[in-house]
């Protein structure tokens, strides 16, 4: 195939001409060619597994004719539909054909892109152990093989299911050591059935780090050993209110933010960032508005419910004599006539017999001050933000974020999916916040370059080795590790 001749994209050229840094896309999407994936799957696990996988791929068709009542009875929501480009045939082909995407990167405005799956997103949550594990491997083999010639500007992401730690480690080792992949997408949760209950909605959510069915520290340790940053791209559709049987938009709104917030909150309160300070984590496609809220909320909760402050609410510290006196002086007759029953009205939400071992709900975290919370959110957590999201500015709002924090928002184009009708517009949309005076050029540099480098190269300094951005990344890493760079991050 002859290379695609790039079309002119003057505004993108103007923007890039004024920059002194590359553009790194941390979350584009490929649309996998399923016949090739299924051939990998057949070779790995046989035709029976391929047939069971195809049932999943065809599930929307199987449920489309059901009436809403039947869907509700079976616990089936309105599934994603018409989620890929069609009128823009060039973009559809671009997401499917690595060479075409490679040839169009300058036209789109990207120097380097990390590419997530589309159909492969569904494999992480499959109940069938054999299909889930084999399909993940098949997608990983397909991606590695297909993108190998284009590694200087494109890198695909491995799929890592997490139903058990052993499963995750085996998938990670196969993806990295066998397939040669250097980025990974991790399931952010597993929906586990309650014992003795078969309905698909009767499940509890395991987020791996808190109250989990398993100890997942060996998984985080293996990520660290291999130099891979765990990134989460799970869906929150089907949770709670996002369970409409008729309206996909209702289910889709905010779902990635909800899913990202769940695993982020679990990682934090489970103490994972402190046990693995070398790891960087990313929560993709949900933006950063939820992260600013969670960061602020954690600080507020810790300041009022840390091991010292929690004693403000210890029922043992209630002065009963003073309370009785105040009741006698200010209570109504309905209260004073029943003063002998005062104890009956005090225990609800203020029970005196809480287990002392459970009073410190931050025990897994090494928090000595609110600054320790800021460090995790500024250095270890990264937040994938689509180009057209005006809330991206929340990451850089040092006047609003407690302690003047700047959250590591990372540019995530989402090219290949329905919310990008024209790939040539994503960089222009991201730049609009600069044109509008909401972001500075320094903020934009952090968004599309410095923060992506922090995510991908902190765990693996060689992540960008051999790529077109290698020299720029090396300079950024040197600047970030020096005294001036450290002061810049803390400013």
H or E stretch covering 191: strand 190-193
Is the pLDDT assigned to residue 110 strictly greater than 80? yes
Q: What is the pLDDT of residue 6?
A: 56
Q: Which of 371, 290, 386 is nearest to 29 (CA)?
A: 386
H or E stretch covering 154: strand 154-156
Question: Are the C-beta atoms of 269 and 299 separated by less than 8 Å?
Answer: no
Q: What is the pLDDT of residue 487?
A: 33
CB count, 10 Å around CB of 164? Answer: 15
The sheet that has 184-186: what strands, in order across it? Answer: 158-160, 184-186, 230-232, 281-283, 381-385, 409-411
At 5, the pLDDT band (50, 70, 90 cuts) reads low
User: Residues 273, 277, 279, 284: what is their CA dihedral angle, to the nearest 10 degrees?
Assistant: 40
Instruction: Average the pLDDT over 106-117 and give the result.
Output: 97
Is the pLDDT assigned to residue 256 strictly greater than 60? yes
Q: What is the pLDDT of residue 70?
A: 87
Q: What is the pLDDT of residue 65?
A: 80
H or E stretch covering 193: strand 190-193
Q: What is the pLDDT of residue 8?
A: 67
pLDDT in tens, 322-366: 999 999 999 999 999 999 999 999 999 999 999 999 999 999 999
Mean pLDDT of the chain: 94
Percent of the chain with pLDDT over 70: 96
Domains of the chain: 21-304+381-490 (3.20.20.140), 308-358 (no CATH)
Is the pLDDT assigned to residue 429 strictly greater than 60? yes
Q: What is the pLDDT of residue 140?
A: 98
- What does DSSP assign to residue 403? G
Is the pLDDT assigned to residue 489 strictly greater than 60? no
DSSP 3-33: PPPPPP-HHHHHHHHT-SS--EEEEEE----
pLDDT in tens, 432-488: 999 999 999 999 999 999 999 999 999 899 999 999 999 999 999 999 876 443 333
At 75, the pLDDT band (50, 70, 90 cuts) reads confident
Distances (CA, A) of 358 to 210, 271, 306, 353, 364: 13, 15, 12, 11, 12
Q: What is the pLDDT of residue 187?
A: 93
Distance CA 93, CA 30 (A): 10
Is the pLDDT assigned to residue 2 strictly greater than 80? no
Distances (CA, A) of 427 to 14, 15, 17, 112, 470: 11, 8, 13, 13, 21
Distance CA 252, CA 238 (A): 9
């Amino acid at each position: 195939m002859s290379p695609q001749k790039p079309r002119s994209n003057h505004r993108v050229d103007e923007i890039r001409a004024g920059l002194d840094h590359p553009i790194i896309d941390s979350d584009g999407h490929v649309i996998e060619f399923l016949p090739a994936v299924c051939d990998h799957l057949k070779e790995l696990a046989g035709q029976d597994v391929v047939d069971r996988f195809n049932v999943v791929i065809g599930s929307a068709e199987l449920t489309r004719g059901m009436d809403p009542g039947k869907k509700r009875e079976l616990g089936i929501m309105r599934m994603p539909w018409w989620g890929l480009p069609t009128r823009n045939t060039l973009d559809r082909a671009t997401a499917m054909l690595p060479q075409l995407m490679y040839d169009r990167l300058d036209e789109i405005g990207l120097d380097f892109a990390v590419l997530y799956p589309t159909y492969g997103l569904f494999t992480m949550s499959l109940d069938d152990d054999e299909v889930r594990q084999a399909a993940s491997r098949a997608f990983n083999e397909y991606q590695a093989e297909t993108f190998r010639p284009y590694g200087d500007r494109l890198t695909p992401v491995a799929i890592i299911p997490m139903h058990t730690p052993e499963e995750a480690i085996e998938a990670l080792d196969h993806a990295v050591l066998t397939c040669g992949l250097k980025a990974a997408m991790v399931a952010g949760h597993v929906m586990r059935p309650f014992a003795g209950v078969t309905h698909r909605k009767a499940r509890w959510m395991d987020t791996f780090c808190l109250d989990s069915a398993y100890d997942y520290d060996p998984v985080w340790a293996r990520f660290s050993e291999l130099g891979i940053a765990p990134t989460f791209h799970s869906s929150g559709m089907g949770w709670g209110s996002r369970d409409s049987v008729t309206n996909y938009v209702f289910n889709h709104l905010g779902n990635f933010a909800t899913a990202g917030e769940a695993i982020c909150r679990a990682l934090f309160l489970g103490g994972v960032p402190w046990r693995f300070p070398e790891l960087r984590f990313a929560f993709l496609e949900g933006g950063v508005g939820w992260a600013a809220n969670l960061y602020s909320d954690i600080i507020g909760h810790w300041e009022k419910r840390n091991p010292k402050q929690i004693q403000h609410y210890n029922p043992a510290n209630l002065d009963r004599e003073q309370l009785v006196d105040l009741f006698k002086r200010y209570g109504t007759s309905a209260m004073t006539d029943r003063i002998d029953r005062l104890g009956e009205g005090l225990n609800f939400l203020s029970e005196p017999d809480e287990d002392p071992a459970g009073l410190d709900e931050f025990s897994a975290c090494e928090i000595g001050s609110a600054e320790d919370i800021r460090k995790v959110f500024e250095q270890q957590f990264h937040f994938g933000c689509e180009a057209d999201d005006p809330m991206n500015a929340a990451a850089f709002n040092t006047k609003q974020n407690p302690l003047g924090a700047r959250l590591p928002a990372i540019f995530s184009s989402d090219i290949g999916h329905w919310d990008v009708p024209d790939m040539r517009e994503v960089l222009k949309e991201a730049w609009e916040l600069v044109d509008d005076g909401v972001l500075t050029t320094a903020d934009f540099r952090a968004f599309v370059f410095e923060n992506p480098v922090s995510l991908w190269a902190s765990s693996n300094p060689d992540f960008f080795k051999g790529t077109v951005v290698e020299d720029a990344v090396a300079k950024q890493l040197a600047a970030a590790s020096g005294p001036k760079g450290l002061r810049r991050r803390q400013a």
